Amino acid sequence: MVRLNIRGFEIHKCFVPSEEQVLLVEALRPVLKAAPLFSPTTASGKNMSVRMTSAGSCGWVSDKNGYRYEPRHPKGRAWPPIPGEILQIWSDVTGLEREPDSCLVNYYGEGARMGMHQDRDEADFSWPVLSVSLGDDGLFRIGNTERGGKTESVWLSSGDVVVMGGPARLTYHGLDRIRFGSSRLLPKGGRLNLTLRCVT
């Protein structure tokens, strides 16, 4: 396993073996059934190209009322628990006793992307953010703690795990594009990104 450090982002290449990736996808099926993917909008009303849902005690949402965490799915149901297989990755990588409050599940279909942004809707930035890539390769871009300036990019593949913590916790980052069809993990193609966060 190769471990990279780009601007404070710890990138654990191939952290999740292929057979465990299959198990993770299976563990996510009940989550997606209980809390179906939905298409969020920005506060200005622009449609995002990703679809998303969450697991845990709260879930991240975006609509005309802004970016925030809510205790329920937009359809009114409580979010399902975070699967144990995902919590194990958090424990193995971070070594923290505290478990994350939320697991955001983003699905990137063909042509989907995520603009440069900060993860700053949490109450305490001392806890790291951890993300797991599943499915198609994604071109991940890392910026600075302020908008603008030079950026660096790295391709994330299925099974890669990224930790954003310490001075890098509020660094701008985004996903420019995916190589649609580069993985056979998801039957219909695309990329799943699981982002674990301590919210409170």
Mean predicted confidence (pLDDT) in 3-19: 97
pLDDT exceeding 90 applies to what percent of the chain? 96
8 Å CB contact between 83 and 134 = no
8 Å CB contact between 164 and 199 = no
Q: Residue 35's domain spans which residues?
A: 3-197
The answer on pLDDT for 44 being more than 90 is no
pLDDT at residue 80, as a whole number: 98
The answer on pLDDT for 177 being more than 90 is yes
The answer on pLDDT for 181 being more than 80 is yes
The pTM assigned to this predicted structure is: 0.96
Question: Could you tell me the pLDDT band of residue 145, with boundaries at 50, 70 and 90?
Answer: very high
**pLDDT tens-digit map of 60-112:** 999 989 999 999 999 999 999 999 999 999 999 999 999 999 999 999 999 99
pLDDT at residue 43, as a whole number: 82
Taking residue 76's Cβ as centre, other Cβ atoms within 10 Å add up to: 6
CATH of the domain at 177: 2.60.120.590
CA 162 to chain centre: 9
CA distances from 47 to 43, 51, 103, 107 (A): 10, 10, 22, 14
Mean predicted confidence (pLDDT) in 164-178: 97
* Number of domains composing the chain: 1
pLDDT at residue 151, as a whole number: 98
pLDDT at residue 45, as a whole number: 87
Average pLDDT of the chain is: 97
The answer on pLDDT for 1 being more than 80 is no
- Torsion, Cα 51 46 101 23, to 10 degrees, reads 10
pLDDT at residue 87, as a whole number: 98
| DSSP per position, 22-69 | HHHHHHHHHHHHHS--B--B-TTSPBPSSEEEEEES-EEEEETTEEEE
pLDDT at residue 154, as a whole number: 98
Distance in angstroms (rounded) separating the CA atoms of residues 71 and 58: 4
The answer on pLDDT for 120 being more than 80 is yes
Residue 84: which H helix or E strand, with range?
helix 84-94
